[in-house]
Structure 1
Amino acid sequence: MKKLVVLGAGESGTGAALLAQAKGYQVFVSDKNIITKGYKQQLLDHKIEFEECKHTWDKIKIADEVIKSPGIPNHIAIIQALQEASIPIIDEVEFASRYTKASLIAITGSNGKSTTTHLAYHLLKAGGLNVGIAGNIGTSFARKVLLEEHNYYVLELSSFQLEHLQTFKADIACILNITPDHLDRYDNQLNNYIAAKFRILRNMIKEGYFIYNQDDTNIREYLVKQTTNLPQLYPISLTQSTHHGAYVENNHLHFVGDNYNFQLPTQTLPLLGKHNIYNTMAAISIASLLGLSYASILDGLRTFKGLPHRMEWIANVNQVSFYNDSKATNVESAAVALESFTSPIIWIAGGYDKGNDYNVLKPIVKNSVKALICLGKDNQTICKAFKESNIPIYETQVMQEAVSLAYTLAKPQDIVLLSPACASFDLFKNFEDRGEQFRYAVQQLLTSIN
């Protein structure tokens, strides 16, 4: 019986452990932190041996293979020891892919992964395909493979999940964009981060399809260096037409492939913002390459509601619209959110600053923002960054105060936008908690006025 060790007992690790046990492996789970109650109970219920708050080398070194949860850095001692012992290290996504015959649609990018993954899944499901959704989004791929059978999987994959792919092969791969993120994981070298993203092409064959953002300099320049074993290229662009792929011209999205050629007016798109045009082009390209008709795609677009915490409309309070974009935890995400509106914006931003460079936001703020409300434990950096923007800047550590103040500052037709550009864990559990507190505060405001 093969021995498998799983490092990390979150959704990814627990899902991998359950699948491995079902496939006949002797499984041991090791987590250096306390395992959360729900996942611990699942391991107990299935009689899977585990340890928490430590990594016991004598129990780990006997593994034939180790599955490393994506969040575990590569430089820590246990990973270094495994590498020195030549014990293979893989990812949960790699492991799960061995046990499904489904066609795999893999989506990555610095921003927009979740929206694109959900939209692609929605279009395929609405079009009648037997499709599942997994990866860096909700349920792990391993758990899905264990519990469900699908002909297709749409997978959101982070760079962390791509690092240890070995035999995983996507049938359709997509890179939406690449901007500096998680560089501490990659020796502060952007090229290392880009290379991790491009591992999504590993093992693809020439009959496969690669959808990529032609307007993204990092993607375009790196792709030029990839001269062998490339799948069929399907670029998406807002500025350049193409014979295969998708582009925008005369307020229409054009989709061109070997077996399809159609247009969609931009006003039919279900999501706000230029960034969501890219996301929508990628999702529709995936649906088209899998044979869905224009009519089916259009029906799917009409029923797509978008995702919580991603440019999510919350309410209109006396002609002031409130939007929750709590998922915008970096500068680039906040930039595309701010550029999505033509009305004046009261911007709620701030949180745990990850060493942000706010320069890209300054011209956008100058043109679009009428007031900035900084919501964080330490607002010094963000306040200083926009001091010369000549807009009112306020500070608070309470969401309800931020929402009430924003409403006081707003005039009819103005936008109140929560798009923090920062991580959430200085004041909140996570970005979802931050977004839910924003939603609750807006609903309380609406109730108090009515």
Structure 2
Amino acid sequence: MKKLTTFPYHRALVLGLAKSGKAAAELLLDSQIETIVNDYKADENSPEVQELKQKGAKVVTGSHPLSLLDEADVVVKNPGIPYHNAIVDEAVKRGIPVITEVELAGFLHEGNLIGITGSNGKTTTTTLLHAFIEADQQPVSIAGNIGEVASEVARTTAEDETMVVELSSFQLMGIETFRPHIAVWLNLFEAHLDYHGTAQEYFSAKANIAKNQTSDDYLVYNADDNDITSFLSAFKCQLVPFSSKKQVDGSWADEEWIYFKDEKVMAKKDIVLVGEHNLSNILAALAAAKLSGVSNQAVYDVLTTFGGVEHRLEFVTKKDDIYFYNDSKATNILATSYALKAFDQPVVLLAGGLDRGNDFDGLIEYLSGVKSMVVFGETADKLTDAGEKAGVESIYQVETMDEAVRKARQSAVSGDVILLSPACASWDQYRTFEERGNKFKEAVHKL
């Protein structure tokens, strides 16, 4: 297990325990750095608190005493704790650096480090890029906002290993020297203003992904996003664009192919991950993969099988030339409209769930490609009404997911798509959208 050998601070205050705080505290303690852990909500007698105390940490729970800053050269903050928190605000006023644990990962990892950020699509792109590199039989690990603590993963990475890290704006606000060799910036929309205060602060946090890069490094960026391109002049790295709308000196697509620069990589018709938004994610991951030496064959092998992140327009299987997709995470009309726009083929739509009191008239314009609907749950009648207004040929009401899948299969013919995209929350019949999606997949595999 690697330790921090070049970390410039000797006394650290870890603010917020959770998964990232615990990993950061253990790393600091193992690296012989004097460590205080402060968590407002943690139980003083919990196993994790006792474990950190046994390792030598001072642990303070139940309050955020400002006096703790007298004993710290640096604050390692949980990404979710806002900067208007009293102790964070005081640290900033005193000039004490406030970082997040991803900064620690930068001190540990020696191999190719790829950081991915954006307002949407981070998880899909991170997962896809990891799969490309793995299919090329290169050593690779995945970490960050996707669920694995970056500083924990970096403790065991090899010198020749690529580390792919999903990065949120919360994490990127807290970096000083963190420097990915390849940075990927997917898109930029106003978000998290309750945390950042202003759109400009949020945009600037995202831009931090490239702030420490040099002329030896690369920024893969969305050439179709004017907000991103407005930042480019401030960066020192090599710029590699991607675009789903035009030819660029990076990764791009026309009606039939995806390319890297002048090189045809594969035919779009062979890609099973659908949706215009996912094409952008694919092109971003492709550029980073090609910069990492990944072969076209590895890209092809992944894109002909990769069905997406689970429950998000996830390709399930193809049976009798009928394609099954699980979009159980579509818990509102907007999400289902995106799913429906992703397909050119006729769609058999499975929808329904918790009734939140809204009608479904906003879905009507997107039902033009739907040949039949199978509806269920509390909203079955409302969805039937929307389908009839849209002129959907056949609409069936059922009670269970097994019935829904069987009825959908009876309605479908070769070339059709059977799509679970409920446009509703799951809580009338299922505890979570994940449970609902898994029930759908089980029913499909029973066919």
**Which band: TM-score by shorter chain?**
0.7 to 0.9
- What does the per-residue CA deviation read over 1:2-58, in whole Å, with 9 as the maximum and x for residues that have no partner? 221111222221111121112221122222224697755763664544344433333
Q: Which residue of 2 aligns with 1:25?
A: 33
- Stretch moving more, 277-286 or 317-326: 317-326
Opposite residue 113 of structure 1, the aligned amino acid is K
User: 5+ unaligned residues in a row in structure 2: which ranges?
Assistant: 1-8, 392-397
Structure 1 residues 24 and 310: alpha-carbon distance in aligned structure 2, compared to 1, 3 A threshold: same
- Stretch moving more, 40-49 or 16-25: 40-49
Q: Which residue of 2 aligns with 1:199?
A: 208
Q: Which residue of 2 aligns with 1:240?
A: 246
Conserved in 1, the CA contact under 8 Å of 2:256 and 2:267? yes
Opposite residue 172 of structure 1, the aligned amino acid is I
Structure 1 residues 85 and 98: alpha-carbon distance in aligned structure 2, compared to 1, 3 A threshold: same
- The structure number with the bigger radius of gyration is 2
- What does the per-residue CA deviation read over 1:393-433, in whole Å, with 9 as the maximum and x for residues that have no partner? xxxxxxx96746855985335634236588x999988xxx4
Q: Which residue of 1 aligns with 2:349?
A: 346
User: 1 CA distance for matches of 2:303 and 2:319?
Assistant: 27
Structure 1 residues 58 and 177: alpha-carbon distance in aligned structure 2, compared to 1, 3 A threshold: same
* TM-score normalised by length of structure 1: 0.78
- Stretch moving more, 6-15 or 366-375: 366-375
Conserved in 1, the CA contact under 8 Å of 2:401 and 2:443? no
Structure 1 residues 328 and 437: alpha-carbon distance in aligned structure 2, compared to 1, 3 A threshold: closer
* TM-score normalised by length of structure 2: 0.78
Instruction: Give how far 1:269 is off.
Output: 2.1
Partner SS state of residue 76, structure 2: strand
Conserved in 2, the CA contact under 8 Å of 1:348 and 1:402? no
Structure 1 residues 436 and 81: alpha-carbon distance in aligned structure 2, compared to 1, 3 A threshold: same
Q: Which residue of 2 aligns with 1:6?
A: 14
Structure 1 residues 213 and 428: alpha-carbon distance in aligned structure 2, compared to 1, 3 A threshold: farther
Q: Which residue of 1 aligns with 2:4?
A: none
Partner SS state of residue 338, structure 1: helix
Opposite residue 23 of structure 1, the aligned amino acid is S
Opposite residue 5 of structure 1, the aligned amino acid is L
Structure 1 residues 252 and 132: alpha-carbon distance in aligned structure 2, compared to 1, 3 A threshold: same
The answer to whether structure 1 residue 178 and structure 2 residue 184 are counterparts is no
User: 2 CA distance for matches of 1:113 and 1:300?
Assistant: 18
Opposite residue 166 of structure 1, the aligned amino acid is E
**2:287 counterpart (274, 285, 288):** 285
**1:149 counterpart (153, 158, 181):** 158
Q: Which residue of 2 aligns with 1:268?
A: 270
Q: Which residue of 2 aligns with 1:74?
A: 83
User: 2 CA distance for matches of 1:2 and 1:426?
Assistant: 53
**1:163 counterpart (152, 158, 173):** 173
User: 2 CA distance for matches of 1:233 and 1:255?
Assistant: 14
Conserved in 2, the CA contact under 8 Å of 1:406 and 1:416? no
Partner SS state of residue 435, structure 1: helix
Q: Which residue of 2 aligns with 1:435?
A: 434
- What does the per-residue CA deviation read over 1:300-326, in whole Å, with 9 as the maximum and x for residues that have no partner? 445645432222245789998663334
Give the number of aligned pairs.
420
User: 2 CA distance for matches of 1:112 and 1:268?
Assistant: 21
Conserved in 1, the CA contact under 8 Å of 2:65 and 2:87? no
Partner SS state of residue 98, structure 1: helix
Instruction: Give how far 1:97 is off.
Output: 0.7
Partner SS state of residue 209, structure 2: helix
**2:260 counterpart (238, 255, 258):** 255
User: 1 CA distance for matches of 2:39 and 2:355?
Assistant: 26
User: 1 CA distance for matches of 2:204 and 2:361?
Assistant: 26
- What does the per-residue CA deviation read over 1:82-137, in whole Å, with 9 as the maximum and x for residues that have no partner? 22333211111112212222221111112211111112112212223232211111
Identity over aligned residues, as a percent?
30
User: 1 CA distance for matches of 2:49 and 2:228?
Assistant: 42
Structure 1 residues 250 and 307: alpha-carbon distance in aligned structure 2, compared to 1, 3 A threshold: closer
User: 2 CA distance for matches of 1:38 and 1:330?
Assistant: 40
Instruction: Give how far 1:60 is off.
Output: 4.5
Conserved in 2, the CA contact under 8 Å of 1:371 and 1:391? no
Following superposition of structure 1 onto structure 2, how do residues 295-310 of structure 1 map, counting pairs within 5 Å? 295-302=297-304, 304=306, 306-310=308-312
Structure 1 residues 360 and 282: alpha-carbon distance in aligned structure 2, compared to 1, 3 A threshold: farther
